[in-house]
Amino acid sequence: MAIMGAFTLYFLLPIFWLLVSSTKTLGNFNSTFSLWFTPTSITDMGNNLVNLFTYNEGVFPRWMLNSIVYATVAGGIGTILAAMCGYALSKYDFPGRELIFNTVLGGVLVPATALALPLFLIFSQVQLTNTFWAVFLPSLVSPFGVYLSRIYAASSVPDEIIEAARIDGSGEIRTFFTVAVRLMSPALVTIFLFQFVSIWNNFFLPLVMLRDQTLFPVTLGLYTWNSQVSQIPDIRTLVIVGALVSIVPLLVAFLSLQRFWRNGLGAGSLK
């Protein structure tokens, strides 16, 4: 328990510092270093939020919206595609199945940063750099999601249920969406969360692909602000407050979807 408590403190202390620092003005940063709130923390926090959402013609809300669209829409579509691919690799026997699966496993081992430059060269050939699709389309691919879907489909979707659905006249697509998806829901939530966090934290691909700041995700936007701190010291507070605001969607996603994990664990204990 002592070790777990130490690690909990290690992980929570930076978040607490971020919360406290978001309630300070630029003068507080220059004069004090404190891990506690000041008497004017609520007022300063409100002013910092107003400045954050109105600075540079309100570009920060646009960055947040971009990240939400990239992470939610691309993460959701990528989860469905990964689930369909993993289900097909698990339940259908066809030539080259193991070769395809081994290729997918190889894709899991390749870091995303190593693919940024080849993707840039490919998208530049079709004139899609500096567009929404330059970040959205690569985010649809999830080799880890395909791997997890195949493993989970093999263990949680019995062949007898699929055969019964076929006997009742259900097509393959209908069987997948009405039977397999329900049984695979804990794995799909896991895949979606991995995709959501990965896309939300994605930095290098947007850095390579995008030049228009209205298309930036929040990670790249805060990076551009942070690089200007030496020239514009007032941005330091905006960067800290923006970093705090940017983790709120991640917390909401985890807290709202964790019940599906608990349901999956409970179902597994009764089998």
Which tens digit of pLDDT belongs to each residue from 13-52? 888 888 888 888 776 665 555 677 777 778 888 888 999 9
Q: Which fold has domain 60-270?
A: MetI-like fold (1.10.3720)
Domain ranges of the chain: 60-270
Predicted local confidence at residue 29, as pLDDT? 62
Burial of 115 (0-12, 13-18, 19+ CB in 10 A): middle
Q: Which residues of the chain have pLDDT under 50?
A: 264-271
pLDDT tens column, 67-106: 999 999 999 999 999 999 999 999 999 898 999 999 998 8
> What is the model's pLDDT at position 31?
54
Q: State residue 4's pLDDT score.
A: 94
Distance CA 24, CA 121 (A): 44
Residue keyed to tokens 């691309």: 74
Distance in angstroms (rounded) separating the CA atoms of residues 239 and 225:
7
pLDDT at site 213: 92
Q: Which of 169, 165, 147 is nearest to 87 (CA)?
A: 147
What does the pLDDT read at residue 38? Answer: 76
User: Do residues 37 and 23 lie in contact, with contact meaning Cβ atoms separated by under 8 Å?
Assistant: yes
